[in-house]
Chain A
Amino acid sequence: MFDYETLRVIWWALIGVLLIGFAIMDGFDFGVAALLRILGRDEHERIVLLETIEPTWEGNQVWFILGGGAVFAAWPLLYAASFSGLYVAMFVLLVAFIIRPVGFNFREKVDNPRWRAVWDTCLIASGVIVMLVCGVAFGNLLLGLPFHYDGDLRMTWDGSFFQLFRPFALLTGLVSLSMLLAHGASWAAMKADHVIAERAARVSRIASAVYIVLFVLAGIWLAYGIPGYAVSGPVVTDAMSNPMNKQVAVGGTWFAGYLTHPYFWAGPVIAFVGALGLQLFVGKRGFLGFFCSCLAVAGTILSAGFALFPFLMPSASDPTSSLTVWDASSSRGTLLIMLGVTVVFIPLILLYTGWVYRVMRGRVTLEHVRKSHSLY
C-alpha cells in the first residue's frame, strides 16, 4: 500500500511534526524558565510562573526524547551522524536537559533563598542554552556540516565545536531565542496571575517584534548569501539507504524548492501571521495570543524544513556524503511498522495530554500560591 518513497516522505513529515511538537510544547517551558527572574519579581511570582508549567513540563519534554528515539528508528544515519558529529554541542544540550527535571523538582524542596537562586540560575541557563543551541544547529544545517563517509559507511567529522559558531548560525540561534521567548511569555500571559500576565504580554510583544526582524534578515541572508544544495543527476527515491550513491551540486539556492513548490510559502506565511497575531492578541482574553505564538513556532520550523528538503543534513566537506530523505532512512519494513505504531499512539498521546491540560486549566493566581502550594 505504501511504497518506499511515500513512506520516506511521511517519515520526513512525522519528524517535522515531532520537532514542531517539541518546539511548541517544550518551547514555552524553556521560554518561561528563561524569563523566570524577569517576569517573576519575587518568590511568590516565581512560584506562580513555575506552577503554570510544573504539572505538564515533564510530558512536554517527552517530545524531545521521542524525537531522538524516532530519528534513531526512522533515520538512523541522521541520528548517528548528527549526534556524534556535534559531540560537544550535544553534551552541552544534554546537560541543559538533565538539569531541568531536578531543577523543577528540587527547587521548592528547601526553603532557602540561596538554594532557590541556584536552581533558578540552572533553569534560566538551561532554557537559554537549549533555545540557542537548537537555533544554531538549524543554521549549521543550512550552511552544511563538515563530514564524510568511508566505504563501510563509517562517518568521520572534519570540523570542530567552535566552527559551529558561524555568523549565520548565530543569527538563527537568535531567531530561535527570540521566537521561544515570545512563545514562553505568551504562555505566561495566558496562564499566570494578571500582575505577571501584563508584564509577560509586554515581553512577548517585544520579543516577537525582534523575532520578525531577525527572521526576515535570516531569510534575506539565506537567499543571497548562502549557497543551496541540490541532488544532481537522477534522483532515485526508492533505492536502499546508502548516501554514497548520488551526486550533489552546491551553489544553487535553498529557495529552489519554494520556486518549484509554491505551497512551501505556507511556512513563512504561517510564521508571519503568527507573529503579527501575537502582537495583536497577546494579553487579551482567551487563548488566541498563545495560539498565534504556536503558529509562529510551527511556521518557522516549516520554513527551514521546506528549504532543506530533500536534504536532512548536507555535507560541506564532501557533498556526496550529504544525507537526504532518499538515502538516510531505515528499511521499508521498519518505516512501515513504525508508521503503524505512530498512527495508533500519537492520537492517544494528544488525547490524554489534552485531558491533563484541561484538568490543570485556569490561571495560577498569586492568592492561590500564597495560600497553598502543592509539595512537588
Chain B
Amino acid sequence: MIVDPDVVGLSRLQFALTALYHFLFVPLTLGLAFMLAIMESVYVMTRREVWKRMTQFWGVLFGINFAMGVATGVTMEFQFGTNWAYYSHYVGDIFGAPLAIEGMMAFFLEGTLVGLFFFGWDRISPLKHMLVTWFLALATSLSALWILIANAWMQNPVGAAFNPQTMRMEVTSFKEVIFNPVAQSKFVHTVSAGYTMGAMFVLSISAWYLLRGRNVDFAKRSMTVAASFGLAASLSVVVLGDESGYTVSENQKMKMAAIEAMWETEPAPASFTLFGLPDTKARETHAAIRVPWVMGLIGTRSIDQPIPGIAALVDDAKLRIADGIKAYDAMLVLRENKGDEQAKAILAAHDKDMGYALLLKRFMDDPRKATPADIQRAADSTIPNVPVLFWSFRIMVACGMYFIFLFAYAFWRSSQRRLEGRGFLKMALWSLPLPWVAAELGWIVAEYGRQPWAIEGVLPTALGASSLTAGQVWISLGGFVLFYTALAFVDGYLMLKFARKGPDGLGMWPKRPDAIPVTAQTV
C-alpha cells in the first residue's frame, strides 16, 4: 500500500517543526543546568551570598525554559507512535529501548529533582541542595545521551537484522547499539553546543546589565563563569563536531557529499568548498571557491582516500536497489513458507540492501515490478536537498568559529578585569541569537540530510508514516502551530520580563537586610 504523499509531507513538516521548536529549549537547559551547578558550588565553597543569588536568579530563567522544554518534549516521545506508526513497528524493537531507558535513567531524576531545586532552598542543607543541582545537570546530559543513542541508530543502524516473520528489524547486539560510534560523537557535539548556548545566554544578559550599569558585581561574576565555561564548550563543540563529520563520512557518504555539494568524486585529497552556489538541476556548483586538501583531511583523515561524489553514490544506489529487490522477493517467499532454505540464503546474502528496494515503494506497490527507469528514479531520490545542507553546514561552522573567538576574547578580558568595554559588551549582547541559529541548523544538517531515509539504508521516510488521512494531520499540525506560537509569545514575554527585572528588580541582589523570600505579590 502506498502511503498518501500528503500525509508523509505533512507529518514530516509537523515533526520538523515540533523538533526544531523543542530544540530551542533543550540546549539551553543543558547549558544552564551546568552553570547553575558551578555557581552553586562556588556558593557552597565560599558561602558568599552573591553566588547563591546568582544561582537563584539564573534558576528563575532556567525554570521558565525548562518548563517549555518539558512541555514540548512530551510531543516528541509520542509523535513516533501517532505519525510514524509503521516506523515504530518496523524499528521499535531497537529504537524504543533507548527512549525508555532515557525515561528511567535520566528524565525521572531530572523531573524529580527540579522541584527540589526550586522548593528545597530552606528544606535541605546547602551541600545537599548543591548535590541536587549537580544531579539535575548530570541527568539533563544523560537524557541527551540516550536520545542521541536512539538518533544515532537512525543515522547508523548497527546491531540489528530484519526478521521476515515479524516484518521488522530486531536487535542482534544491544552493545553495538549503545556503543555506536556515531552516538558518541553526536553526544559530545550536541551537549557541548548546549553548554555553549547556556554560556552565551548568561554572557549576553550580563553584558546588558553592565551596559546599563546595573547589578555590576553580579553581572561580572556571571560573565566570568560564562566566559570560561563558554570557551571550553565552544572549543569542544568545534573539535568534536569535526569528529562528528568524520563519523558521518564513514557511514553516510551521501550526506557528506551533499553537505559539500560534491557532485563528482574528486581525486584525493578532496578540496573544501568555502563558497559556492549548488545547482541541483545541472548537478554542479557555480562560483565555487575551493580550499585544496581540507575536505579530504576532515573526511578521511588521510591524503590518499577519495571521498565519493553524488553521481558515484547514485550509481551505487542503483546496484543496491537491484540487490534489494532480490531480498524483497525472498522475504515474500519466506512469509508464505517459513522453511524455504533457498529464499533464506538469498535474504541473508542481500538483506543489507532490502531498504533500497523499499525506496521503490513510494512509486509502486510491488518493487519486484520495477523497470530500469523506476530504479533510476528511486536512486535519484537518495540525493538530499544539496543547497540547504551546503549552506546550513557553512553557517553553523562559521557560528562555531565565532563562538570560540568571542569566548576567548571574553575570557581574556575577564582575566584582565576589563569587562566594561562598551564595544565588547554590545558584541556579547547582540551575539545572543547565534547559538540558536547554529543549533537549529545543526539539526537540519543531521536530520534533513538523512532524507530520504528514516533509518539510513533501512527504512525510507515515506514508508514510515502512519496510515492517516491528510485531514487528521492538518488538524494536529494547525493545532501545534497555533498552540506553540501562543506559547512562544508567553515564553518570550516572561523571559524578557524577568531578564529585565534582573536580580535587583526581583529583590534578590543586593539583598535587603530585612528581606523575606520573594512573594508572589512583589513579583
- List 9 additional contacts besides A58-B114, A155-B467, A359-B116; criterion CB under 8 Å: A66-B103, A70-B100, A83-B81, A102-B68, A111-B520, A157-B467, A242-B166, A334-B174, A352-B109
The closest CB in chain B to the CB of A58 belongs to B111
Q: Quick one: which of B162-180 are within 8 Å of A by CB?
A: 163, 165-168, 170-172, 174
Name B residues whose Cβ lies closer than 8 Å to a Cβ of A: 1, 56, 60, 63-64, 66-68, 70-75, 77-78, 80-83, 85-86, 88-89, 92-97, 99-105, 107-109, 111-116, 118-121, 123-124, 163, 165-168, 170-172, 174, 335, 466-468, 472, 475-476, 479, 483, 487, 490-491, 494, 497-498, 506, 516-523
| CA A72 to CA B104, docked complex, whole Å | 14
* A154 lies within 8 A of chain B by Cβ: yes
| CA A102 to CA B519, docked complex, whole Å | 19
* Least Cβ–Cβ distance between A22 and chain B, in angstroms: 12
Contact assessment for B516 and A82 in the assembled complex, using a CB-CB cutoff below 8 Å: no
Residue from A59, A104, A157 within 8 A of B111 (CB atoms): A59
Q: Which of A172-180, A187-195, A270-278, A338-346 faces chain B?
A: A338-346
Contact assessment for A334 and B171 in the assembled complex, using a CB-CB cutoff below 8 Å: yes
Per CB-CB distance, the 9 closest pairs between chain A and chain B, nearest first, are A76-B92, A83-B81, A59-B112, A73-B96, A72-B96, A84-B85, A66-B103, A84-B466, A105-B67
* Least Cβ–Cβ distance between A110 and chain B, in angstroms: 8
The closest CB in chain A to the CB of B118 belongs to A376
The closest CB in chain A to the CB of B120 belongs to A359
| CA A108 to CA B335, docked complex, whole Å | 59
* Least Cβ–Cβ distance between B483 and chain A, in angstroms: 6
Count of chain A residues with Cβ under 8 Å from any Cβ of B?
80
| CA A155 to CA B124, docked complex, whole Å | 52
| CA A302 to CA B479, docked complex, whole Å | 35
Contact assessment for B67 and A98 in the assembled complex, using a CB-CB cutoff below 8 Å: no
Contact assessment for B467 and A156 in the assembled complex, using a CB-CB cutoff below 8 Å: yes
* A42 lies within 8 A of chain B by Cβ: no
Q: A58-B70, A102-B67, A331-B171 are in contact. Are A356 and B519 (CB under 8 A)?
A: no
* A101 lies within 8 A of chain B by Cβ: yes
The closest CB in chain A to the CB of B121 belongs to A374
* Least Cβ–Cβ distance between A163 and chain B, in angstroms: 14
The closest CB in chain A to the CB of B116 belongs to A356
| CA A333 to CA B96, docked complex, whole Å | 13
* Least Cβ–Cβ distance between B357 and chain A, in angstroms: 13
Residues on the B chain within 8 Å of A102, using CB? 67-68, 71, 487, 490-491
| CA A70 to CA B126, docked complex, whole Å | 36
Residues on the B chain within 8 Å of A247, using CB? none
The closest CB in chain A to the CB of B498 belongs to A109
Contact assessment for A352 and B67 in the assembled complex, using a CB-CB cutoff below 8 Å: no
Contact assessment for B75 and A98 in the assembled complex, using a CB-CB cutoff below 8 Å: yes
Most buried by A among B66, B67, B78, B124: B78
* Least Cβ–Cβ distance between B196 and chain A, in angstroms: 25
Contact assessment for A66 and B92 in the assembled complex, using a CB-CB cutoff below 8 Å: no
Residue from B86, B124, B516 within 8 A of A80 (CB atoms): B86
* Least Cβ–Cβ distance between A47 and chain B, in angstroms: 7
* A288 lies within 8 A of chain B by Cβ: no
Chain A binding surface SS class:
helix
Contact assessment for B83 and A98 in the assembled complex, using a CB-CB cutoff below 8 Å: no
Residues on the A chain within 8 Å of B113, using CB? 59, 352, 356
Q: Quick one: which of A337-370 are within 8 Å of B by CB?
A: 337-338, 341-342, 345-346, 349, 352-353, 356, 359-360
Contact assessment for A62 and B111 in the assembled complex, using a CB-CB cutoff below 8 Å: yes
* Least Cβ–Cβ distance between A52 and chain B, in angstroms: 11
Contact assessment for A240 and B520 in the assembled complex, using a CB-CB cutoff below 8 Å: no
* A65 lies within 8 A of chain B by Cβ: yes
* A309 lies within 8 A of chain B by Cβ: no
* A74 lies within 8 A of chain B by Cβ: yes
| CA A35 to CA B490, docked complex, whole Å | 25
| CA A240 to CA B121, docked complex, whole Å | 53
Q: Which of A2-10, A86-94, A225-233, A314-322 faces chain B?
A: A86-94
Contact assessment for B112 and A56 in the assembled complex, using a CB-CB cutoff below 8 Å: yes
Residues on the B chain within 8 Å of A55, using CB? 115-116, 118-120
* Least Cβ–Cβ distance between A232 and chain B, in angstroms: 22
Residues on the A chain within 8 Å of B120, using CB? 55, 359-360
Residues on the A chain within 8 Å of B81, using CB? 68, 72, 79-80, 82-84, 90
Residues on the B chain within 8 Å of A109, using CB? 64, 494, 497-498, 523
